[in-house]
Structure 1
Amino acid sequence: MTNSDSNKYYIFYDGECGFCNFWVHWILKRDNKDHFLFASLQSDFGQKFLQERNLELKDLDTLYLWKPDQYYLQKSHAVFKITEIIGGLYQFISILRFLPTGITDFLYDQVAENRKKLATQACEIPTPEERKKFID
C-alpha cells in the first residue's frame, strides 16, 4: 500500500454477487473526489483484511469500509459513511446512523439475505480508469 492509498477508503464486498457489483459501480460513478478503492472479500487482499481482524473468512454477506490506521465499519454503518463521503443529496442517508444499530443492521441483513434475488444478470464492465481502483 502506498502512502497516497492510506488516504483512501477501502470498500470490501462480495465479488460474486451481482447486487453487490451493481452498488460498487453506483459508488464508482459518484466518487468524484476519488476517495474509494475496492476489493472483493474473496480476493487475497480481502481475505487478509478479514483474517487480520479475526472476522469470518467465508461470511461474504457483510460490506466493510476500512480507513487504514483509523477504523473499519461494517454493514449499515459502512453504508452510512459511504453516503456521507460521497456527499450531495446522498449524505442525507447517513442521518440514519443515529437509529439503533440493531435496527439498521437488521434491515441490512434482510437485504443481504435476499441480495441474490435482487441482483440483475447484467454486469457492468469498469472502464480502464475505474479498474485502477480495484485491488486483487
Structure 2
Amino acid sequence: MNHTDLSKQWDAKQWWIFFDDECMVCSFWVYIILKFEQEPRFYFGGLYAKETKEIFKIHGYKPSIDGVIFFHDNTFYSGARAIFEITHRLRYPFKLIYFLRLIPISISDFVYRMIAMIRWRPGKTYCRSSFLFKKNRVRW
C-alpha cells in the first residue's frame, strides 16, 4: 500500500486505537469501548498491521510497548496514558477511570505492564475482533 492509498483511510483528526487484535483481552476492551463511546468516533487498527507500521513510520513514532496505543491530533499515547485518554472519551462509568491519571504515571504504567503480561499467559486462546468489521470501524 502506498502513501496515497493510506491517506484515503487515514485521518489524524480521528480518534485511533491501535491494539493487539489477536488478544482476547484486548478485543474484549475494544468491544466495551464500542459500547460506551459517546458517539462513533473511534477507529481501530491492528497493532502489527503493515498499515499501522507505515503510519508509525510516517509520524516518526517507535512504540516502546506491546499494547494499546491511542492516536489523535498528531499525538501518540501509550500504556496507562493511552487508557486515560481513551476512557476520558467514553461514557460513565468508564469515564471515571480518567481520574486515575492523578496517580503518578510510573505507578500507572507499572500496573498497566502487569496487566499486559497477564494477558499472554500460556494456555490462553485468542481470537480476532470480527465484531469490529461488522461495525465498519476497522481500517486494517
Taking structure 1 as the reference length, what is the TM-score of the superposition? 0.80
Q: Deviations over 1:78-135 (max 9, x none)?
A: 11111110132211110011111100000000011111239665666316651x1101
Aligned-pair distance for 1:66?
0.3
Report the residue type matching 1:72 in the other structure. Answer: F
- C-alpha distance 7-34 of structure 1, shift in aligned 2 (>3 A): farther
Alignment partners' CA distance in 2, 1:110 and 1:127:
26
Contact 1:19 1:116 in 2 (8 A): no
Larger mean CA deviation between 107-116 and 41-50 belongs to 41-50
Other structure's SS at 1:11 match: strand
Output the amino acid matched with 1:55. K
Count of aligned residue pairs for this structure pair = 132
1:35 corresponds to 2:41: yes
Task: Tell me the residue number matched to 1:11.
Answer: 17
1:93 maps to: 97
CA change 1:106–1:32 in 2 (3 A) is same
- From 97, 111, 114, the equivalent of 1:107 is 111
Q: For residues 15 and 61 of structure 2, what CA distance do their matches in structure 1 show?
A: 20
Q: Secondary structure at the match of 2:130?
A: coil
Q: Tell whether the 8 Å contact from 2:18 to 2:46 is kept in structure 1 after alignment.
A: yes
Instruction: String of CA shifts for 1:48-73, please: whole Å, max 9, x gaps.
Output: 233343415xx76221100033x221
Which runs of 5 or more residues in structure 2 are unaligned? 1-6
SS in 2 for 1:108: helix
Q: Paired residue for 2:62?
A: 55
Give the TM-score taking structure 2 as reference length.
0.78
Residue 67 of structure 1 pairs with residue 72 of structure 2:
yes
Deviation of 1:45 after TM superposition, in Å, equals 2.0
